[in-house]
């Protein structure tokens, strides 16, 4: 099959029987639901860009499994050049959508699974790697979106999976059969889960022998029997339900998506099982996926950051403040922070190396440094954007007020007349509506629904800050650095 287009992708979702719930109700036509559709549009961009000759080098790759041209989001990295192109592709997608385009988790799961299953087979003589390769060939041939799902609800964080009062708070193998396994539990915060054709599930942390039933990894279709999803609430989400909503939406066309994915005794055939009790490899799979996903943030968040910087510069221009030295300095600082994130993403890619399977992995220390910066810099970028934009970003009347013909003034002025009069700014550069559009856009990306794809996700996506600090401590080689100091200082013991 040739690469799908964005339109073909959207139509392919209609053929799924995915069970989706939101606001306490079942959503039958979730593909066209006004709250969900912007996130689907975001994924569609990853298809359309792959079909654009201008971006072919970044958006497509040659499969190491089949030799065919595929979407890079389904590719196994074969070199450091592949790793760098991944980051550049993600920056491009962020620039085009100013939101979360959702396919990174699946791509990062593929690459973590590929090398980890190879090493499990080497130790235990299993055939997980061949199973996974067959599944990936199927994904590549059909140009599918696969959600990578790792995060369990976890319950009481001080207790191991097997010690939880409710055993379902970590996804587990409930039953083993000759032809497969039955799994029960849930995965939460799942990016793009509803928009995916399939899911690939991974353990959420390193495991011990008593937790071996929780050391499970597998793939299953999004509409598998017993699987359903509950859509995650976002700030300002019901604005999308307002009749004629436009300016007030900010980013009207694109958005992110998160959901709780529930496995209510779902049967998984053996051909889609890639780990089933090999607890000693759970940590490896988690670390490799986390490393790849922390690299990803040096691309996607940078692309969105490019748009934030552009929007802040426009807001300054529309306010008539773009010549002020402090505005220029703030834009410089935003650019410096954004490019530092990108530099980290490129650095951990450039310093990557081959795994035993032949696929390439990033430098894990630098990937964790990249994500640690991402937990901080976007917050400063957003703070500066809000500073530049001014308070009107969060205090302006609604779009309906600007269009209202209700007479309120002594001379026959309508509410719309009054709003348009008093919220005009740099008339030589913009209309009042254009000024409102850029301010609503900044509100959306800094505080509203797109915070899922930028600000808040920068903190908790791919692991919270402490998770990176733990990895930095493990990989920072403090003992080696102490030896360097001893040698130069003349200490010989």
Secondary element (H or E) of residue 394? helix 392-395
Say which of 42, 93, 100, 370 is annotated catalytic.
100
pLDDT in tens, the chain (493 residues): 679 999 999 999 999 999 999 999 999 999 999 999 999 999 999 999 999 999 999 999 999 999 999 999 999 999 999 999 999 999 999 999 999 999 999 999 999 999 999 999 999 999 999 999 999 999 999 999 999 999 999 999 999 999 999 999 999 999 999 999 999 999 999 999 999 999 999 999 999 999 999 999 999 999 999 999 999 998 889 999 999 999 999 999 999 999 999 999 999 999 999 999 999 999 999 999 999 999 999 999 999 999 999 999 999 999 999 999 999 999 999 999 999 999 999 999 999 999 999 999 999 999 999 999 999 999 999 999 999 999 999 999 999 999 999 999 999 999 999 999 999 999 989 999 999 999 999 999 988 666 577 888 899 889 889 999 999 999 999 999 999 999 999 999 8
- 100 catalytic residue (yes or no): yes
Say which of 254, 293, 370, 419 is annotated catalytic.
293
Say which of 42, 93, 104, 348 is annotated catalytic.
104
Residue 447: the pLDDT is 85
Work out the number of other CB atoms within 10 angstroms of the CB of residue 326: 10
Residue 368: the pLDDT is 97
Note the pLDDT tens digit of each residue in 193-214: 999 999 999 999 999 999 999 9
- 129 catalytic residue (yes or no): no
The domains found in the chain, sorted by start residue, are 287-482 (1.20.140.10)
Treating both helix axes as pointing N-terminal to C-terminal, what angle do 282-319 and 432-446 enclose, rounded to 10 degrees? 160
Residue 130: the pLDDT is 98
Residue 493: the pLDDT is 83
Say which of 128, 228, 254, 297 is annotated catalytic.
297
Q: In what order do the strands lie in the sheet with 146-149?
A: 146-149, 198-201, 216-221, 273-276
Residue 160: the pLDDT is 97
Residue 405: the pLDDT is 97
- 66 catalytic residue (yes or no): no
Note the pLDDT tens digit of each residue in 130-148: 999 999 999 999 999 999 9
- 300 catalytic residue (yes or no): yes
Say which of 42, 93, 188, 300 is annotated catalytic.
300
- 457 catalytic residue (yes or no): yes
Residue 449: the pLDDT is 61
Say which of 46, 47, 93, 258 is annotated catalytic.
258
- 93 catalytic residue (yes or no): no
d(CA 157, CA 151): 13
Say which of 191, 342, 360, 430 is annotated catalytic.
191
Q: Tell whether the torsion through CA atoms of 112, 117, 118 and 124 is positive or negative.
A: positive
Say which of 386, 399, 443, 457 is annotated catalytic.
457
- 104 catalytic residue (yes or no): yes
Residue 2: the pLDDT is 76
Residue 235: the pLDDT is 86
Residue 195: the pLDDT is 97
- Based on its alpha-carbon atoms, the radius of gyration of the chain, rounded to whole angstroms, reads 24
Label each residue of 104-138 as H, E or C.
HHHHHHHHHHHHHHHHHHHHHCCCHHHHHHHHHHH
Treating both helix axes as pointing N-terminal to C-terminal, what angle do 80-97 and 37-50 enclose, rounded to 10 degrees? 130
| Closest by Cα among 178, 126, 147, 149 to 74 | 147
- 433 catalytic residue (yes or no): no
Residue 283: the pLDDT is 97
Query: Model pTM?
Result: 0.97
């Amino acid at each position: 099959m040739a690469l799908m287009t964005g339109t073909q992708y959207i139509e392919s979702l209609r053929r799924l029987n995915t069970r989706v719930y939101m606001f306490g109700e079942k959503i039958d036509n979730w593909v066209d639901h006004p709250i969900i559709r912007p996130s689907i549009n975001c994924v569609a961009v990853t298809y359309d860009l792959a079909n654009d000759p201008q971006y072919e080098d970044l958006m497509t790759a040659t499969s190491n499994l089949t030799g065919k041209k595929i979407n890079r989001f389904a590719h196994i990295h074969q070199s450091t050049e592949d790793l760098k192109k991944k980051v550049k592709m993600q920056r491009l997608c962020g620039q085009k959508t100013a939101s979360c385009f959702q396919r990174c988790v699946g791509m990062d799961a593929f690459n973590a699974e590929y090398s980890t299953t190879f090493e499990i087979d080497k130790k235990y003589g299993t055939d997980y790697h061949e199973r996974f390769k067959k599944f990936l060939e199927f994904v590549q041939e059909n140009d599918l979106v696969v959600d990578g799902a790792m995060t369990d609800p976890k319950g009481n964080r001080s207790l191991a999976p097997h010690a939880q009062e409710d055993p379902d708070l970590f996804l587990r193998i409930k039953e083993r059969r000759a032809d497969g396994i039955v799994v029960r539990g849930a995965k939460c915060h799942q990016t793009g889960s509803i928009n995916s054709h399939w899911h690939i599930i991974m353990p959420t942390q390193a495991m011990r022998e008593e937790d071996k039933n929780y050391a499970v990894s597998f793939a299953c279709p999004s509409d598998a029997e017993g699987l359903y999803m509950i859509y995650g609430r976002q700030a300002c989400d019901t604005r999308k339900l307002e009749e004629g909503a436009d300016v007030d939406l900010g980013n009207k066309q694109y958005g992110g998506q998160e959901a709780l994915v529930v496995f209510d005794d779902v049967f998984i055939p053996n051909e889609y099982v890639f780990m089933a009790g090999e607890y000693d490899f759970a940590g490896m799979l988690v670390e490799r996926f986390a490393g790849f996903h922390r690299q990803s943030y040096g691309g996607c968040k940078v692309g969105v950051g490019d748009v934030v910087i552009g929007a802040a510069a426009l807001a300054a221009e529309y306010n008539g403040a773009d010549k002020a030295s402090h505005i220029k300095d703030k834009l410089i600082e935003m650019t410096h922070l954004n490019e530092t994130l990108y530099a980290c993403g490129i650095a951990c890619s450039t310093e990557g190396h081959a795994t035993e399977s032949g696929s390439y992995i990033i430098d894990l220390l630098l990937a964790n440094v990249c994500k640690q910066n991402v937990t901080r810099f976007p917050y400063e970028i957003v703070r500066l954007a809000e500073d530049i934009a001014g308070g009107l970003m969060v205090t302006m009347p609604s779009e309906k007020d600007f269009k209202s013909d209700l007479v309120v003034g002594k001379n026959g002025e309508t509410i719309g007349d009054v709003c348009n009069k008093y919220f005009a700014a740099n008339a030589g550069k913009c209309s009042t509506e254009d000024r409102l559009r850029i301010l609503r856009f900044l509100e959306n990306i800094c505080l509203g629904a797109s915070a899922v794809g930028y600000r808040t996700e920068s903190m908790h996506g791919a692991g919270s800050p402490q998770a990176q600090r733990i990895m930095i401590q493990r990989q920072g080689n403090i003992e080696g650095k102490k030896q360097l100091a001893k040698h130069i200082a003349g200490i010989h013991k």
